[in-house]
Amino acid sequence: MGSVGRKIIGMDIEELISLLNRAFADEWLAHYQYWMGAKLAKGPMKDAIIAELTLHAADEMRHATMVAARIIQLGGTPLIRPEDWYKHANCSYDAPEDPYVRTLLEQNIKGEQCAIGVYNSLLNITRDKDIVTYEMVATILKDEVEHEEDLESLLEDLDLMMKKRG
C-alpha cells in the first residue's frame, strides 16, 4: 500500500491484518458449509432452501475476495493454506452431516450469528481508525444481517408448513 495510505491508519496494522485473516478464514468455511449444504439438502421446501444456500455460498466467497483484497492492500498476505482456516477462524465449521433442511438452516443461522458478532466487533475496532476497512466491514455486516433474516424466515415458513400438515 502507498505510504500515505498506510500512515492514515490509526491502529496497529499487523494486528488489523491478523483480525482480517481470521474473518477471511470464516468466510471460506462459511462458503464451503453453504456450498456443501446446497448439494446435500433433503426435505420439505428443498428447492427454495437450496436456492438460498447457493446464493449465500456465492456471497461468502465474494466476502472472502473483499477481505483478501484489503489484507493485500494493507501489505499483508491472506492465509495461503486451507489448513490454517481452522486454526484462525472465529466461527466454527459445522459439517452438514445431517442433510435434513431444518438442521442445515439451524447450523447456518448459528454461523451467521457468529459472523454478525465478528463484523460488529471489527466495526468497533476500526471506527475512526481505518475508514476504508470500516466501510468494507459495514458492507459485509449488512449482508450477514440479511443472511440471518433470510434463513430465519425460511425456518419459520418450514415450521408453519409442517404445523399445517399436522
Determine if 60 is a binding residue for Mg ion (CB under 5 A): no
Among the listed ranges 1-9, 27-35, 99-107, 148-156, the one in contact with Mg ion (CB under 5 A) is: 148-156
Q: Quick one: 103 or 113, whose CB is closer to Fe ion?
A: 113
CB of 148 to Mg ion, least distance (A): 10
Determine if 144 is a binding residue for Mg ion (CB under 5 A): no
Q: How many residues bind Mg ion (CB under 5 A)?
A: 1
Determine if 150 is a binding residue for Mg ion (CB under 5 A): yes
- Sequence letter at residue 42: K
Whole-angstrom distance, CA of residue 136 vs CA of residue 132: 6
Q: Quick one: 53 or 74, whose CB is closer to Fe ion?
A: 53
Residues near Fe ion (CB under 5 A): 27, 60, 63, 144, 147
